[in-house]
Structure 1
Amino acid sequence: MPASGAVTRHTLRQQIAEALRDEVLAGRLLPGEEFTVKHIAEQYGVSATPVREALVDLAAQGLLDSDQHRGFHVHRFTAGDFRAMVEARALVADGIFRRVVASGLGRVDSEALVSVRRRAEEAGRAAKGGDLDILIGYDLRFWRELTALFANQYICDFLHRLRVQAWVFSVPFLRGEGACREWLWNGHEQLVDAITLGDAVAARAVVDDCHAHALAWADRVGPEPETGRGPSAGGGPGTGSGAATGAEPELGPGPGSPRR
């Protein structure tokens, strides 16, 4: 019984953390928004312990900040933070490509790319349609599965964390964009095509273009949005379907990577 109880609590803790992360990714919990363990526990109808553990987990991921006297609030990332995230991703990608070129892209098992291509197709379709709720989920899953083909778990986790944080910064802006889809990168399938052909040069060009688009979008963004219930343009962040992690729970280039 003790072991079973521990598993149950751990599962509940994870479920709460994932649900809250989805709320942040969807833009329904905005930067600076405050809440307490008691509030979340009442909202989900659970005890305070798994909620507190879930909030601590999210704080460790950089998504929340804790205040000893006021509870927790959603971390406010800046445009400078976003640019630094993109730079970090670019530097890691450079290291990965150096190793890939040395070993050869052609060694990637084509069967391993089937799932990645499926994510790419869904992410590209969502980006072209401007559907953030679907795009975020598939995009995150796409990059995580793709990175896992070439890098170890520590690198995968690091890059995934940066992409989640980048989406958290981007979503409030993109919700307010009248032409959101015009700024969403949709080169997922192009990247898979290059990898399938074993063309490391072409693959690197696509990834570099993804990072360049992200930085171009960040330069356009300017000051951070207000921290109310969200930008008025586009209906605000609460107008989405709620599937922040997409049809498949979890996922642009990281958050808001733009397309020219």
Structure 2
Amino acid sequence: MKQGVQGPPGAPAAARIPGQQRPAAGAVPGGRERDAAVPGAARGEHTHGERPIPGPRAAVQRSSVRGQILDALRTALVTGDLKPGEVYSAPVLGERFGVSATPVREAMQQLALEGAVEVVPNRGFRVLQRGARELAELAEVRALIEVPVVLRLARTVPAERWADLRPLAEETVRAAAVGCPAAYAESDRAFHRALLALSGNEQLLRIAEDIHRRSQWPPVRRGRAGLVADAAEHMALLDALAAGDVGVVRGLVGEHFAGAS
């Protein structure tokens, strides 16, 4: 019986990408249906030359399979289990998740739209490499979007409303203490999403979420101390917002995004 992966304490529920093996030609293990015809550039059927990823098989529920696979792949990007420059095929990843290649391929195509991977004709999907300059540019874009919004919220949101965000900030502190990058990435996005949601601007939320997610991989190896410092800034920011101290808020958000690069 396939066993789910038990990640580090505090890690999100998404499955960890396990080791890869070549599936039987033209079939998906377990007697699952064959995939419908898909253009060769998007199928990624050939698996020769791939490096295995350590770990046991992962099990996912059949409901919302594509979403679960997408979450698992995003987690694998953050943790570094999917390595920049490596090519991964949909059939092999599908076998390891216990599903057909189709939901894996669909999830990979979504990641391609997000700029995480690129299609390699007749092989699969290559994880793209982001250099220091691109990560710095993403941090700058985040600052350009979020800093003015947070400063406006500091002047307009009643002090008692900031208490609603404290549990989310505390969750980032707990995730940082564990030192799990995937758990911290998820809690960090949740905090910033809730903060920006006070603006009432849905388009802003979508754009900021996309840029934030892009900025989280490949993971920046700051270590537990770096994550703890980042989480502490969330708590300090909430204190300043509740106190209505716009000057302190301005300094904290500027420092926060400078550290993100």
> Same fold by TM-score, threshold 0.5 exceeded?
yes
State how many pairs are aligned.
198
Per-residue Cα deviation, 1:185-244 (whole angstroms, up to 9, x for no partner): 2311111122223333322221101122234xxxxxxxxxxxxxxxxxxxxxxxxxxxxx
Partner of 1:183: 226
Change (3 A) 1:126 1:17: closer
Q: What is the CA–CA distance in structure 2 between the aligned matches of 1:74 and 1:108, rounded to whole Å?
A: 44
**Superposed counterparts of 1:160-175, under 5 Å:** 160-171=209-220, 173-174=221-222
Matched, 1:38 2:84: no
Structure 1: where are the runs of 5+ without partners?
1-7, 175-179, 216-260
**Which range moves more in the overlay, 42-51 or 11-20?**
42-51
**CA distance in 2: counterparts of 1:144 and 1:54, whole angstroms:** 23
Equivalent residue for 1:132, pick from 181, 197, 202: 181
Cα distance in 1 between the residues matched to 2:98 and 2:151: 50
Query: Which protein has the bigger helix share?
Result: 1
**Distance of aligned partners of 1:39 and 1:163 in 2 relative to their CA distance in 1, 3 Å threshold:** same
Residue 108 (structure 1) shift = 6.6
What is the TM-score of this pair, normalised by structure 2? 0.67
Q: Structure 1 residues 71, 167: closer, same or farther in 2, change over 3 A?
A: same
Higher gyration radius (CA): 2
Residue 224 of structure 2 aligns to which amino acid in structure 1? R
Counterpart in the other structure of 1:121 = 170
Aligned counterparts of 2:85 and 2:200: Cα–Cα separation in 1: 34
Give CA-to-partner distance per residue, 1:146-178, whole Å, 9 cap, x none: 11112522221222222222221234x34xxxx
Return the match for 2:121 from 64, 68, 72: 68
Contact 2:85 2:126 in 1 (8 A): yes
- 2:245 and 2:148 map into 1 onto residues whose CA distance is 17
Letter in 2 for 1:168: W
TM-score (norm 1): 0.67
Give distance in 2, aligned partners of 1:108 and 1:48: 50
Could you say if the C-alpha distance between residues 28 and 133 of structure 1 is closer, same or farther in structure 2, counting changes exceeding 3 Å?
same
Question: 1:125-145 deviations in whole A, cap 9, x for unaligned?
Answer: 433564434322211111111
Could you tell me whether the CA contact under 8 Å between 1:105 and 1:200 is conserved in 2? no
Give the aligned partner of residue 25 of structure 1: 78
Give the letter for the 1:24 counterpart: L
**In the TM superposition, what whole-angstrom CA distance separates every residue of 1:81-113 from its partner, at most 9, and x where no partner exists?**
100001101111244246446xx3334762x74
Distance in 2 of aligned mates of 1:192 and 1:168: 26
Which of the pair has the greater relative contact order for Cα pairs under 8 Å at 6+ separation?
1
Change in 2 beyond 3 A, CA 1:192/1:16: same
What amino acid is the match of 2:187? Answer: Y
Q: Percentage identity across aligned positions?
A: 32
Gaps of at least 5 residues in structure 2 are 1-60
